[in-house]
Structure 1
C-alpha cells in the first residue's frame, strides 16, 4: 500500500518538476540574452538580430512599455519602410496585449 502512495505522489510530481524546470531554463535563457546584448553593445547601435532577441525577451516577460519604447526608438532611427511597418505592427500588438491584461486582472 505504501508503494502505491509513493507511485501516485511521483506521478503527480513529475509533471510539476517538468514545468518548473522548463520555466527555469526559459528564464536562464532570457537572462543570458540580456547579459550578452546590453553591456557589450551600445543600445543605439544594435543589429536587427539583437533587436529580435530583445524583442522576444521583452515580450515573454510582458515588459510592454520597454518594448514599445525600444521599437519607437528604432522607428525613428530606421530608414527602411518595411522595418518601420513591422515595428508599428508590433507596437499595435503590444497595446492589444496591454488592454487584454487590464480586462483579465
Structure 2
C-alpha cells in the first residue's frame, strides 16, 4: 500500500518538477544574456539590437512597464537614419499597451510606426488588429486592403 502511495506521489510531482526546472532554466538564460550585455557595453550606449532583445525578454515575462520604460529611454537616443529600429520600438511599445488593454495609446504608437514606414507588414498587421479590438472595423478593413496590396506587389 505504501508503494502505491509513493508511485502516485511521484507521478504527480514529476510533471511539476519538470515545469519548475524549465522555468528556472528559462530565467537563468535571460539573466545570463542580460549580464553579457551589461559586461560588453555601457548601459547608456547600448546597441539597438541589444535593446530590442531586452524588450523581447520583458515582453515574454509580461513586464510591460519595464519594456515601455526602456524603449522610451532609448528611443530618444536613436539617430534619424535608424528608421527601422525606431519603427520596431514603436511597435513593441504599442504591443505593451495593447497587452494591458489600453487601446488608444497602443493605436497612437502603431500610427507613429505607420507614419514613419507605411510599408512594413508587421506595423500594418498590428494596426489592423488594434482597430479590430477597439471596434473600428472600417479602418481595420482599410489597413487590411493595404496589406493585401502590399502582398500582391511583393508577389509580382
What interval of TM-score do these two structures reach, taking the shorter chain for normalisation? 0.7 to 0.9
Q: Tell which structure's C-alpha radius of gyration is larger.
A: 2
Aligned-partner Cα distance in 2 for 1:66–1:8 = 42
Partner of 2:57: 57
Aligned-partner Cα distance in 2 for 1:46–1:38 = 8
Unpaired segments ≥5 residues, structure 1: 101-105
Aligned positions of 1:19-58 closer than 5 A: 19-58=19-58
Q: TM-score, normalised by structure 1?
A: 0.78
Structure 1 stretches of 4+ moved >4 Å: none
Q: Please say if residues 58 and 64 of structure 2, whose CA atoms lie closer than 8 Å, have aligned partners that are also in contact.
A: yes
Q: Which has the higher helix share?
A: 1
Unpaired segments ≥5 residues, structure 2: 103-156
Aligned residues: 100
Q: CA 1:85/1:53 → structure 2, altered by over 3 Å: closer, same or farther?
A: closer
Q: Name the SS for the 1:77 alignment partner.
A: coil
Query: Structure with the greater relative contact order (CA < 8 A, sep ≥ 6): 1 or 2?
Result: 1
Q: Please say if residues 33 and 53 of structure 1, whose CA atoms lie closer than 8 Å, have aligned partners that are also in contact.
A: no
- Over aligned residues, Cα RMSD in angstroms? 2.0
Q: Please say if residues 48 and 85 of structure 2, whose CA atoms lie closer than 8 Å, have aligned partners that are also in contact.
A: no
